[in-house]
Amino acid sequence: MQVQKAGVFSEILDQPRAWRETLQMLVKRKEELGGWLKGENFGQIVFVGCASSYTVAVSAAHIAQLVSGLNTEVYPSSEFCYLRRPPYDSRIKTLVVAISRSNDSDDTFWAVDKLKKLHPAVKVLGIFAKDGGRIQAMCDQTVILPNTLEIGPVSTRSASSSLLACMVLTAWISNKDAFINEMIRVPDLYADPEYIKKIQDTARKLSVPKPLPLHFVFLGCGPYYGLALEAARKIRELVAYNAEAQQTLEFRHGGQGGLTKEAMVFCFLSDTMRKAELDVLGGLAKYRCPRVAVLEQSDESVKLRTDQVIELKTKVSEITRILAMYPVIHFLTFYMSIARGKNADKLYHLDPPIQVKDRPGV
């Protein structure tokens, strides 16, 4: 398929192609890379990343633990250079998965460099959208995502493809080929023009209210918390509005105190905790803020506790479904960006990262 290069919207639509090519590339490397992962017999996996790569790492760590049963940890790359010892049990054979869109992120480069000094025996696997960066030189293995690097600063297809790569690696470690067979079905879903149009239309309708909400809250449990983090990040990037991410069941412990009718709450609904998550959404009714559930399929109990729903109807497991939720986030924030009068390809409000000069131990 042709690679779409015309801007943010085209890059959002291009995700099925990116996912399919990522899967094809990884299938070709199963014997070599999958064999290496099994042969190393890792006892724990640590995920690191910054910006959108960190939100991907949060979901990937939860997925790896749920599917493989291994100990998993996740850390923002920016904290590593301040550590005096590894933040995990270094007696256990450890795989560090370093995720970076550019393959050149300062924070992730320093994190891997510091880890190599603190724990020389650690093995590092890098997942990048670009070949030939500084981080790659320090990795024992790398996965270069084919044709996923975006033109601008907004990460869309590279983020979702990074998560897909993490899911495939987890399936190999766990000897669960059925998990990969499910992943193959997701690109086909979004390749259906009717399916993608329905998701687009639903997301567009949510951006119609004038004025837009002044504050957004995204909720998710387990691996869905990574989705909430990414959605809040995209609102800040594309819409330039305040947004926060919370774990759904923790949010009820005082997190709802600042809600008003000028806020909007989105909940990425899981299967495992669905009833409890719906109880939380139902309890938010008195704050009169719009409540939106993003879920597999709605029913009467959902309708009673929400104001609007985005149904996916993927017919895949709740773990694989996480991948299908990425375009939902992207469409939603893209259309809200337009409603705010922004140009998603020229985000003048986006500033470069604030520089931190003091990096001890690097």
Segment 321-340, tens digit of pLDDT: 999 999 999 999 999 999 98
Contact assessment for residue 136 and residue 100, using Cβ atoms and an 8 Å cutoff: no
Q: How does residue 352 score in pLDDT terms, banded at 50, 70 and 90?
A: confident
Structure token digits, residue 169: 């690696």
pLDDT, one tens digit per residue, over 94-119 is 999 999 999 999 999 999 999 999 99
Longest dimension (CA), the chain: 57
| pLDDT value at 89 more than 50 | yes
**pLDDT at residue 198, as a whole number:** 95
Rounded-to-integer distance, Cα 98 and Cα 242, Å: 28
Nearest of 274, 268, 267, 271 to residue 290 by alpha carbon: 267
Residue 262 has, within 13 A of its CA and on its CB side, a CA count of: 6
pLDDT the model gives residue 360: 63
Query: Which residue in 147, 138, 89 sits closest to 114, CA to CA?
Result: 138
Beta strands in the chain (DSSP E): 44-49, 71-76, 94-100, 123-128, 141-144, 215-220, 242-247, 263-268, 291-295, 308-311
Strand-pair partners of 258: none
Q: Provide mean pLDDT across the span 51-66.
A: 98
Q: Which residues pair with 76 in a beta bridge?
A: 49
For residue 2, what pLDDT is reported?
Answer: 43
d(CA 178, CA 175): 9
Q: Please name each of the domains of the chain with its CATH number.
A: 8-185 (3.40.50.10490), 192-339 (3.40.50.10490)
Q: Is residue 5's pLDDT more than 70?
A: no
Percentage of the residues of the chain whose pLDDT score is greater than 90 = 86
* H or E element at residue 37: helix 35-40
Q: Which of 145, 139, 143, 322 lies closest to 220 in space, CA to CA?
A: 322
- Summarize pLDDT for 168-194 with one digit per residue, the tens: 999 999 999 899 999 999 999 998 999
Q: What pLDDT score does 1 carry?
A: 42
DSSP type of residue 128: E
Kindly state the average pLDDT of the residues 234-239. Answer: 95
Q: Which residues contact 285 (CB under 8 A, 6 or more apart)?
A: 291, 305
Chain-centre distance of CA 187, in angstroms?
16
Task: Name the DSSP class of 91.
Answer: T
Contact assessment for residue 80 and residue 124, using Cβ atoms and an 8 Å cutoff: no
Tell me the residue ranges of DSSP E strands in 77-208.
94-100, 123-128, 141-144
Give 361's pLDDT tier (boundaries 50, 70, 90).
low
Name the CA radius of gyration of the chain, rounded.
Answer: 20
Q: How far apart are CA 356 and CA 81, in angstroms?
A: 12
Best mean pLDDT range from 35-39, 84-88, 356-360? 35-39
pLDDT digits (tens, 9 = 90+) for 197-235: 999 999 999 987 677 898 999 999 999 999 999 999 999
Residue 362 predicted with pLDDT over 70: no
Does 342 have pLDDT greater than 60? Answer: yes
Report the amino acid identity of residue 112: V
**What is the C-alpha separation between 117 and 211, in angstroms, rounded?**
52
**Helix then strand then coil, % of the chain, to nearest 5:** 50, 15, 35
Q: What are the start-end ranges of the E strands in 42-140?
A: 44-49, 71-76, 94-100, 123-128
Residue pLDDT, tens place only, 123-174: 999 999 999 999 999 999 999 999 999 998 999 999 999 999 999 999 999 9
Q: Are 314 and 189 in contact (CB under 8 A)?
A: yes
Whether residue 39 is predicted with pLDDT greater than 80 in this model: the reply is yes
Please report the pLDDT score of residue 212 as a whole number.
81
Pick from 267-271, 282-286, 352-356: least confident: 352-356
**Segment (H or E) for 117:** helix 106-118
Of 111, 101, 104, nearest in space to 162 by CA: 101
First to last CA, the chain: 43
| Rounded average pLDDT over 18-32 | 97
Per-residue pLDDT band at 81 (split at 50, 70, 90): confident
pTM of the model: 0.95
What pLDDT, on a 0 to 100 scale, did the predictor assign at position 4?
A: 43
- pLDDT beyond 50 at 354: yes
3-class SS at 99? strand
What average pLDDT does this structure show over 295-306? 96
pLDDT recorded at residue 3:
46
Q: Cis (ω within 30 of 0) for the bond into 146?
A: no
Q: In angstroms, rounded to a whole number, what is the distance separating the alpha carbons of residues 251 and 247?
A: 6
175: its two tokens: 């000897």
Q: What is the mean pLDDT of the chain?
A: 93
